Structure 1
Amino acid sequence: MLLPLACLAVGALAQFGNNGAPFPEVTYEDAISPNPDVVAGAQSNQRSPPKYPSPWGSGAGEWAEAYKKAIDVVKQLTLEEKVNLTTGSGWQQEQCVGQTGGVPRLGIRGQCLQDSPVGVRYTDLVSVFPAGINVGATWDKRLAYERGKAMGYESRDKGVTVQLGPVAGGLGRSPEGGRNWEGFSPDPYLTGKLFADSIRGIQSTGVQACAKHYVGNEQEHFRQTPEARDYGFNISEPGSSNIDDQTMHEVYAWPFADAVKAGVASFMCSYNLVNNSQACQNSYLLNHILKDELGFQGYVMSDWQATAAGVPAVLAGLDMTMAGDIRFGDGASYFGPNLTIAVLNGTVPQWRLDDMVTRILAGWYLVDGDAEIELPNFQSWTPYTNGAVHAHVGPTWGTGVVNKHVDVRREHGRLIREIGAASTVLLKNTKGALPLTNKEKLTAVIGEDAGSNPTGPNGCRNHGCDVGTLGVGWGSGQANFPYLISPDAAIQHEVTSRYGSYESITNNSAFTQIDLLSKRVTEAAGVCLVFANADSGEGFINIENNFGDRKNLTLWQGADAMIANVSASCNNTVLVLHTVGAVEIDQYKNNENITAILWAGLPGEQSGNAIADVLYGRVNPGAKLPFTIGKARSDYGTDVLYTPNQPVPQFNFREGVFLDYRSFDARNITPVYEFGFGLSYTTFAYSNLRVEKLSAEPYTPSSGSSEPAPTYGSIDNRTASHTFPEGFTKIPLYIYPWLNSSSLNASYGAPGYGDNSFIPPGSRDGSSYSHAPASGPNGGNEGLWEPLYRVCATVTNTGSVAGDEVAQLYVSLGGEYDPKVVLRGFERVGIEAGESVEVEFELARRDVSSWDVVKQDWVVTEAAKKVFVGKSSRLLELEGDLE
């Protein structure tokens, strides 16, 4: 049955939580920003202002040729063909996790959209790359690009046209956030730079990148109502991230601006509400910030089942619905035939549909997607060669070869190993513990995280368990391992290939055996290599009551007891952590028997080899923490909301811009290891800071209005022209653009036809729209990207071995409510022993600006500004003034 495009009617809000009990008062408090305007803008039941109409693309800059090609096609399309390009075919109806219709007569294929941010999900013979958080730890833009490029090639060779990644949301507001590891860092600047280079790498291969999840997707609890109900919480809507305007611009939208500047083809909007409006029909986010202020020329797709309405979502800026159906496999859609009806009855103007389709096709042409690219040669829904062509409805509707088992990995294992080692952060190194010499009389590897999952590296669907070593988190952000080299296997090979002595215990509960082995290592003057982890993932999976988000910041698998057992007896204990983010390890920092600590994150398939490269000195660690490690979860000032505080849970971002190290600085809390911290097997010194003010044009706010919205081709308004073609065979529950009946009332299948009360004023006005002051093509006002300063410093390797150093530049914006410092530059450089290099940073106008909520523009305030350069957010050796 076709459904009305207006928001479905919502009854009285549910007033009860678990087991019918009233919702309890929630006692957790966010860190409070000192800015009262920020706090006022992040209260429960906050509302987003409406912004209409949805800006139509102009094809500016690098998009010009892609728009020309797209428009030439759109002029030739029928109404149904246009709708077909905007609508997913339905869950498990085609090969990919998301697939649109195409236009066969013009040679336009349906888009194949596929997870994940670490590799091609739901297929075989693909690589599993290190997670985004590991790329963050490299602080290396080259490696971000190369990883994106390698993933793009693998997607392309599997027939994927849109890779659903990379990730900048969740940004990492709270360290417990389940999907933080898919992104790069809770710092918007670091994330933005690595986000942009990842996008450039992916799209260099002819595959479209998808910047996700836009925006405020900072926890898994209450992101979807059915999911929450599965866990016993009777909420009426997804939770609302309530974010003030300044914080939205300076923190959460910041990296997405970098994505637009990098030319990303598509955006994915998120499940959550933002200021109590669905993110996928929030006109302020989509129409105003993204398509007007940032000048985004590509298209916006929904997350899977995140489309909450038809006409309201379309008019608010949503261009494509995924996976097409309203609920997985129900055969109903807010787009599809209902979008056809909406255009015929005028509730969606033709110019808006034409803009949607132009944006979608332009994204395809932007990356030369119309070139010779493989059709999908796999099917997400079965690992076997033969199967049902339309998996959701079964073999009755056709069977055949659905998986060709194409090996697309090339030699990407080398890059994965390089990134794994380059992202390993050395946090502690005493008594000359590292690097190991391979002359140790006895090497012991201890911990479940060192070993293999007895059921295989893919023994748990979607990696929804924590057994053996942790190479990736769980959910849609993972992929199937072609192999997973465990630390036990790699280090055993390292030692035994030289005929050394090696033993391992990969059962954390083997207390007696661990104690005996630890004592023997001490007596033999050997080393105990101890491995521990902490996992998290997407909210549709629950592991030991971690509903996606972690319920604490402790280690998993009983690792703390195991570490205490080892370190009580072994006076040379080296601790390696495979975690999704920060964990509580203060007790290990000060333990004299724990001589070294390394954070290795989620390193992917080459995990064991990568850590062995660092432990044995083939790679000198140069990584830095992309987040802060505090003593306790309360140090961060933010947390996940674990129990609903209203029928529509309210996530109040009252900390404003004070995330991670900014919060620690503002509240004068000493971390265990600060943001940007990381040791090396050598030492570095900083000197000779120079600040040069560059010649730049004065900033000019944008003004004026757009040209009228164009329409392409004509539409036959006779309803009978849009019914199913005669003799057409329908696949059950497949989503088509045609109507069931020549009567719109009958096709609509529900009351409400002709009701325009849900259409916001101005939303269908295609005459023009006014440009916001901060707006501009492909990233916002061009003046924001203009360099204002060049900052240079000398970094010297004062040690005895070559190594990498990440020079970091921070700025004090100087305002009453500003953070102490904010990251505004970084460069990873390799330096030979005893040599020096010059490191150069450019500060753009955007980097020294603040968002003015009154002017609705970026301004460089009159406050005195300083620049700092050093090794971490708290080891800033050099300081200078910005004129």
Structure 2
Amino acid sequence: MRLFAPLCCLAAVSPVLGQFGNNGAPFPNVTYRTGVSPNPAVVLGAQSNQISPPRYPSPWGSGEGEWADAYVKAREFVGQLTLEEKVNLTTGTGWQLESCVGQTGSVPRLGFRALCLQDSPVAGLNVAATWDRDLAYARGEAMGLENRDKGINVLLGPVAGPLGRSPEGGRNWEGFSPDPYLTGQLFATSIQGIQSTGVQACAKHFIAQEQEHFRQTPEARAYGFNITEPGSSNIDDQTLHELYVWPFADAVKAGVASVMCSYNLVNQSAACQNSYLLNQVLKNELGFQGYVMSDWQATLGGVSSVLAGLDMTMAGDIVFDDGISYFGPNLTIAVLNGTVPQWRLDDMAVRIVAAWYFVESDTKVTEEPNFQSWTFDTFGSTHFHVGPQWGTELVNQHVDVRREHGALIRKIGAESTVLLKNNGALPLTGKERLTGVFGEDAGSNPLGPNGCRNHNCDTGTLIVGWGSGQAQAPYQVSPDTALQNEVVSHYGSYESITNNSAITQIAALARRTNDVAGVCIVFANADSGEGFVNIENNFGDRKNLTLWQGADAMIGNVTKNCNNTVLVIHSVGAVELEAYKQHPNITAILWAGLPGEQSGNAIADVLYGRVNPSAKLPFTIGKARSDYGTDVLYTPNQPVPQFNFQEGVFVDYRAFDHRNLTPTYEFGFGLSYTNFTYSDLTITKLDAAAYTPTTGSAEPAPTYGSVDKDPSAHLFPANITRIPLFIYPYLNSTNLSTAYGAAGYGDNTFISEGALDGSSFAHTPSSGPSGGNAGLWDPLYKVCVSIANTGAVAGAEVAQLYVSHGGQYDPVRVLRGFEKVFLGVGEKKQIEFVVRRRDLANWDTGAQDWVVRDGVKVVAVGASSRDLSLTGTLE
């Protein structure tokens, strides 16, 4: 067991091109676009055993801009705290020992309660399919209100990591899209919606945790994989910035209160103690003013993590319920023996308290937690894990905080349903002579909507994936229920079979439906989730991109007997649909994602035309799994598994374009019940100041209050009742070399050069408070287009703007704008896109800055990434 020791030695590596490692590696048996080949420097930077360079000291928060008032209050508050009280703010109390999934220590004498942290992301993927910033904000606000009324301070979401490098990634559905621009926009507006309620958002997972396999050593070993450390995502610096960091810059710009670091290593250094990522990229370049918390059990060292920029450890213990922490009393010891300077602890505390003030938690979150995460019982153990002998009380008040959010859930469900194919079959009338519904995915789980813990089964209709991103459903409207209600309300005929193995009965009903010219509606799904759950050897990540529940055979049975079959897919991402796209008896295909509790009502709204589909795919659906050029590493390639991101920025549609492959359905694609035309593209160059790289250095690190260096002053108080396994900040001995097993009293030989230096740190060229250098956000161009509804039905269209940077190793095009517009029949409107400096820039690894390179920049606007009817050139 390593207490306050470094995870691995961090060799000093100069910041040269390729130091990080991956992009554009050659794929076998494919044709690249003429004149375009993989970037050798990026490939070189994504080899196994790449090393992350050290960056110290950890930048202290400046409290500039919109954070200024919060920092004034936080500094005054922290100045009143004792050493133990500061440590308490940074340390979780231990797994299952308090009400919330994570809970910090408190400062009772000053009225600062423990922070309650709770899982909350659910399915961002469906929000992405709406391409609607307003809906993203409304969902964030609704989630914030519900969490606030439960007494929760920190909502553990939204998600931009995983971004979605590989379509098989188990937790892709928690986030938004493999496109960083789309993710960044919806990430930011979700955060603003959450924090408008006084609840802190936590942007996660930072960074490059793109698969569940090998994310944690004990978890992998339980599955029979003999690894020694979590897997290492090996990434070159350009790819890191242009793809994976991009949406986190949007989050910081939006004022996100906290960021969660991930389980994986990045270039051989744990993400939660990677000084390049936390100190350099997040806190220096992006100017992040909030605090960094670990994922649960992702803290792999003490002093090493603190000095590398980690501010809070969760759930507090090293291994769940071992009663030991890398922080807690060991952080107290580290400050006393000088291996952590006081200014660093003070900065940790200030960041945590400033975030609390920044979102106005002090006035908006007035409820204490009125629930317990570990049981639904009304009464139970106060400290769940250690049992009733340490107290019992009312643990669940069963407060209903939902308001009328079901209407919003239904709206998002309908507006995120992508119409992929329609040969005139839709919309339905509800008066069809016979409606036959087929598939296990149409029906309810016979064990109830929450019959499988953490939704760790695929039984009945799929409304959410499994793991910590799921939520308990207060009810579930299945497609079978909603469609039956729809048909019966018109006194029509309706029959359903929700057993995929009922071969004879399915064939008979499909044949009878066909004979009377009715409609057959088939439901199928594909599931995934967090790595601690294994469903049929899908260890979080999917093994393939095929449908589950034996759906392919069931679909074949229906389509063989019914020539008007509508296929509805509930899935966590892409599935193989090429055969169904080409099938003459499949007259319509809809992708409905993970729509939640209102699933059936939402799909009924679309099928029967109450909602005209406007959703667009937030990912690409390829013809074959191999088309994506990326995949999950399923078998360890070393004792520390190496994930070599050699495709670089060429993920999803960028990979298909780069490799000259035609997908089944492209990124941004989605049909409507009406038609739209684009015209009148104009480009206006805006007046903007020249970009000026940031220079200079920070003022010396401040400290607040003083620390009594006498160990006896920090022993357990005599009047405290010590709960077993609870993490306290106090010492059990005045001998610092033996207290809590901390080895190497006063040993600082492993501490990197400059890590203890609070005199100053140099600002990076791209740095600036809350989002980086302000010049990166300057508008450079305004692009306007007109869109007209030329069909017979009112509807909304999502216009998309793409930019071609023009460089030798750049993607064909990248998304850099989208606007959703509602148009009545015959109506025409003009929409406007703003192109900012960062939209045209590339990351220069030598300059360590964003640079708009010379060359022609082309913009294209249209209905999808491959349906771009208007183009223009930027000066």
TM range (shorter): over 0.9
Alpha-carbon distance, 1:758 to partner = 1.1
1:420 paired to 2:413: yes
What amino acid sits opposite 2:282 in the alignment?
A: L
3-state SS of the aligned residue for 1:253?
helix
1:864 paired to 2:864: no
Residue in structure 1 matched with residue 106 of structure 2 by the alignment: 102
Residue in structure 1 matched with residue 16 of structure 2 by the alignment: none
What amino acid sits opposite 1:380 in the alignment?
A: S
Q: 1:64 aligns with which of 54, 63, 68?
A: 68
Residue in structure 2 matched with residue 465 of structure 1 by the alignment: 457
- Deviation per CA, 1:775-825: give whole Å up to 9, x if none: 001000000000000000000101011001000000000000000000000
Alpha-carbon distance, 1:29 to partner = 8.1
Q: 2:490 aligns with which of 495, 498, 504?
A: 498
Alpha-carbon distance, 1:233 to partner = 0.3
Q: CA RMSD in A?
A: 1.3
Residues 755-794 of structure 1 aligned to structure 2 (within 5 Å): 755-794=747-786
Residues 413-812 of structure 1 aligned to structure 2 (within 5 Å): 413-430=406-423, 432-812=424-804
- Deviation per CA, 1:638-680: give whole Å up to 9, x if none: 0000000000000000000001000000111000000000000
Return the alpha-carbon distance in structure 2 between the equivalents of residues 5 and 396 of structure 1.
33
Aligned residues: 853
The answer to whether the 8 A contact 1:302-1:318 is kept is: yes
Residue in structure 1 matched with residue 79 of structure 2 by the alignment: 75
What amino acid sits opposite 2:507 in the alignment?
A: D
The answer to whether the 8 A contact 2:75-2:704 is kept is: yes
Q: TM-score normalised to the size of structure 1?
A: 0.96
Structure 1 residues 9 and 844 mapped into 2: Cα distance closer, same or farther (>3 Å)? closer
Which blocks of at least 5 consecutive residues in structure 1 are unaligned? 11-26, 119-130
Return the alpha-carbon distance in structure 2 between the equivalents of residues 346 and 158 of structure 1.
40
1:7 paired to 2:6: yes
What amino acid sits opposite 2:527 in the alignment?
A: D
The answer to whether the 8 A contact 1:4-1:752 is kept is: no
Q: 1:395 aligns with which of 365, 388, 402?
A: 388
What amino acid sits opposite 2:205 in the alignment?
A: H
3-state SS of the aligned residue for 1:744?
coil
Q: 2:366 aligns with which of 367, 373, 377?
A: 373
Residue in structure 2 matched with residue 874 of structure 1 by the alignment: 866
1:111 paired to 2:120: no
The answer to whether the 8 A contact 1:325-1:334 is kept is: yes
Residues 827-842 of structure 1 aligned to structure 2 (within 5 Å): 827-842=819-834
1:406 paired to 2:399: yes
Return the alpha-carbon distance in structure 1 between the equivalents of residues 8 and 65 of structure 2.
43
- Deviation per CA, 1:465-490: give whole Å up to 9, x if none: 00000000000000110001000000
3-state SS of the aligned residue for 2:737?
helix
What amino acid sits opposite 1:590 in the alignment?
A: Q
Alpha-carbon distance, 1:116 to partner = 1.8
Return the alpha-carbon distance in structure 2 between the equivalents of residues 215 and 381 of structure 1.
29
3-state SS of the aligned residue for 2:242?
helix
- Deviation per CA, 1:195-234: give whole Å up to 9, x if none: 0000000000000000000000100000000000011001
Return the alpha-carbon distance in structure 1 between the equivalents of residues 828 and 466 of structure 2.
43
What amino acid sits opposite 1:39 in the alignment?
A: V
Return the alpha-carbon distance in structure 1 between the equivalents of residues 742 and 622 of structure 2.
55
1:289 paired to 2:281: yes
Residue in structure 2 matched with residue 135 of structure 1 by the alignment: 127
The answer to whether the 8 A contact 2:157-2:201 is kept is: yes
Residue in structure 2 matched with residue 50 of structure 1 by the alignment: 54
1:385 paired to 2:391: no
The answer to whether the 8 A contact 1:472-1:604 is kept is: yes
The answer to whether the 8 A contact 1:463-1:475 is kept is: yes
Alpha-carbon distance, 1:437 to partner = 1.0
Residues 128-527 of structure 1 aligned to structure 2 (within 5 Å): 131-371=123-363, 372-430=365-423, 432-527=424-519
Return the alpha-carbon distance in structure 2 between the equivalents of residues 322 and 132 of structure 1.
23
Alpha-carbon distance, 1:750 to partner = 4.4
Return the alpha-carbon distance in structure 1 between the equivalents of residues 676 and 131 of structure 2.
17
Return the alpha-carbon distance in structure 2 between the equivalents of residues 350 and 513 of structure 1.
73
Alpha-carbon distance, 1:748 to partner = 4.2
- Deviation per CA, 1:243-273: give whole Å up to 9, x if none: 1000000000000000000000000000000
Which blocks of at least 5 consecutive residues in structure 2 are unaligned? 10-25
What amino acid sits opposite 2:111 in the alignment?
A: G
3-state SS of the aligned residue for 1:291?
helix
Return the alpha-carbon distance in structure 1 between the equivalents of residues 7 and 516 of structure 2.
71
3-state SS of the aligned residue for 2:589?
strand
Q: TM-score normalised to the size of structure 2?
A: 0.97
Alpha-carbon distance, 1:438 to partner = 1.4
Alpha-carbon distance, 1:7 to partner = 3.3
- Deviation per CA, 1:499-557: give whole Å up to 9, x if none: 11000000011111110101111111100010000000000000000000000000000
Return the alpha-carbon distance in structure 2 between the equivalents of residues 8 and 793 of structure 1.
53
Question: How many percent of aligned residue pairs carry the same amino acid?
Answer: 74
Return the alpha-carbon distance in structure 2 between the equivalents of residues 69 and 812 of structure 1.
46
Return the alpha-carbon distance in structure 1 between the equivalents of residues 310 and 659 of structure 2.
40
- Deviation per CA, 1:28-57: give whole Å up to 9, x if none: 989997111110111100011100000000
What amino acid sits opposite 2:99 in the alignment?
A: Q
Return the alpha-carbon distance in structure 1 between the equivalents of residues 697 and 158 of structure 2.
33
3-state SS of the aligned residue for 2:384?
coil
What amino acid sits opposite 2:581 in the alignment?
A: K
What amino acid sits opposite 1:445 in the alignment?
A: V
Alpha-carbon distance, 1:392 to partner = 1.0
The answer to whether the 8 A contact 2:4-2:742 is kept is: no
Return the alpha-carbon distance in structure 2 between the equivalents of residues 8 and 320 of structure 1.
17
3-state SS of the aligned residue for 1:370?
helix
